[in-house]
Amino acid sequence: DAKTTQPTSMDCAEGRAANLPCNHSTISGNEYVYWYRQIHSQGPQYIIHGLKNNETNEMASLIITEDRKSSTLILPHATLRDTAVYYCIVRVDLLRKLVFGKGTKLTVNP
């Protein structure tokens, strides 16, 4: 699995967009990018995933650069409930394991 690098922590004002970067410069062509988050003391929650194209769902948008070496998770209108640790994970689709790093601690401030 490709290694990912994320900032340790970030802050965002409530109502503003939160942009969380992830570097995965060693990603290979068949590896997907997954994003999960973990709100304090709860189990991780799936957010979104993508391979090459940008993706959007009801929770977030995922922007993947053309060379696929980095991506950005966008929460368009952050709320206090979005305060959590966000994990960027790169995984080959045939493997069945998620390898979690330390993630980014996002704090949404009022």
Partner 1 sequence: NAGVTQTPKFRVLKTGQSMTLLCAQDMNHEYMYWYRQDPGMGLRLIHYSVGEGTTAKGEVPDGYNVSRLKKQNFLLGLESAAPSQTSVYFCASSKTGHNEQFFGPGTRLTVL
| Site for partner 1, rule CB under 8 A | 32, 34, 36, 41-46, 49, 87, 91, 93-103
Question: Three-state SS for 106?
Answer: strand
Q: Do 24 and 33 meet the contact criterion of CB atoms below 8 Å apart? A: yes
Question: Three-state SS for 82?
Answer: helix
Q: Least distance from C-beta 42 to partner 1, angstroms?
A: 7
Instruction: Give the residue with the Cβ less far from partner 1, 17 or 26.
Output: 26
Instruction: Give the residue with the Cβ less far from partner 1, 18 or 87.
Output: 87
Q: Least distance from C-beta 85 to partner 1, angstroms?
A: 8
Q: Do 18 and 12 meet the contact criterion of CB atoms below 8 Å apart? A: yes
